[in-house]
Structure 1
Amino acid sequence: MNVFINKNGVGDVLLVQLTTERPEQTEIETKGDITLIKSSQDGQAVALNVFNATQYVGEYADGSIELTPELVAKIQEALEKNGVSLELNVDFSPKFVVGHVVSKEKHPNADKLNICTVNVGSETLQIVCGAPNVESGQKVVVAKVGAVMPSGMIIRDAELRGVPSSGMICSAKELDLPDAPAEKGILVLAGDAEVGSAFTN
């Protein structure tokens, strides 16, 4: 679940993305201040808008809003006040974590891509990476599926040149770190970084 607000562009509306899936066709259902966006295929809610958001959740600066149990409780209450029957199930685990590159092999269909197996503590992910400096044994920053990058891009399950990829190994520039080097390459962390721990800049 990702939450955004853009008062300058959209107005006093909370934009809530419930899933990283993007259905081909959607249908809209509005009740009071809530608009649900549902997949036409299975009827699953993929996003919702909360109008007059300030009266429900208070004031927030424009941009991506940090997901907290308190914010989710306020959104759930807004749904109930407007007669919308939808239970919010939210994963509060960190989306930017320390990963350990267990293995690296060349992508069979792309010269500049590698297929990396990355241990992120709770699971092991397959991530296709195009950075020239990625190597097995490194500690790296992984943006897991559902992460919102500083650029606003949302990390989704993807397929790169026919190979599934779940997450992204990040560069300092992609993480918007101060003094990020201009040359291409992932951020390599110190060897004592704890695998699976949250990465905070």
Structure 2
Amino acid sequence: MLIASYNQAALGDVLVVIAAADEAEQTTTKRDDIVEIVAQSDGHLIGFNFLKIKTILPTLSGNGKIELSDDQIGILNEAIKTAGFSTKLVADYDAKFVIGYVETVEKHPKSDHLHITTTLVDGEHELQIVSGSPNIKDHIKVVVAKVGAMMPSGQIIWPGQLRGVSSNGMICSGRELKLKNAPEKPGALILPDDFQAIGQPFDFAKGNLLF
């Protein structure tokens, strides 16, 4: 997993790179202008903060989620090594917003408004996703934010539990995807059957034409 975010107006010249979910107990180490964050449990990398990123990547631009190229990741890893850290970043180009197909829907045993879905996201790969969408039902195409997705709001999708039931992803509304003219109300974005094939990366430009 690799999520990079840059917001100069809010944070200054800082690139935030996330490699794993946050943990309550973690170790933070600063060397030069690089901050490494690792889990105390087993030492796995949670992420890096690059405090003066333009000294490392002078041409970096954007606001919000940043797609880093292989060359940029290589430059960051060289800077990490030079600073004396042994961990490194690993590229992740797996699509995080994909076309899903809701195969089954069951009522949540501990909630009146939540439902447990079995959602196909690619081939035979199924995810259990708990959804609170009032219009959720079986046999529909939807947009799934997989684990590791950063929503337009900045929220990151992690594995979790809702009322004691595991959930691995999110079935999105048009509003949550920030699609143009999407209704400002809850409810899964139900896609036309011929919109895109199951498992394909969601085409945001095409999605804007749905409203």
| Alignment TM-score, normalising by the size of structure 1 | 0.93
Q: State yes or no: 1:100 paired with 2:131.
A: no
- Structure 1 unaligned residues grouped into runs of 5+: none
Q: Provide the aligned C-alpha RMSD in A.
A: 1.4
CA displacement at 1:78 relative to structure 2: 2.0
CA displacement at 1:166 relative to structure 2: 0.3
- The answer for the alignment partner of 1:73 in structure 2 is 74
- 8 Å contact kept, 2:175–2:185: no
- Structure 2 unaligned residues grouped into runs of 5+: 205-211
1:27-80 residue CA offsets vs partner (Å, 9 max, x unmatched): 111222211011122222211111220121233123221243233223222212
Q: Describe the shift of the 1:186–1:89 C-alpha distance in structure 2 as closer, same or farther (beyond 3 A).
A: same
1:71-122 residue CA offsets vs partner (Å, 9 max, x unmatched): 3223222212323222322321100000011111111110111100001005
CA displacement at 1:25 relative to structure 2: 1.3
Moved more, 35-44 or 125-134: 35-44
Distance 2:104 2:143 in 1: 15
SS at match of 1:70: helix
SS at match of 1:8: helix
- The answer for the alignment partner of 1:6 in structure 2 is 7
- 8 Å contact kept, 1:56–1:74: yes
- Percentage of identical aligned residues: 40
Q: Describe the shift of the 1:183–1:10 C-alpha distance in structure 2 as closer, same or farther (beyond 3 A).
A: closer
| Alignment TM-score, normalising by the size of structure 2 | 0.89
Amino acid at match of 2:37: I
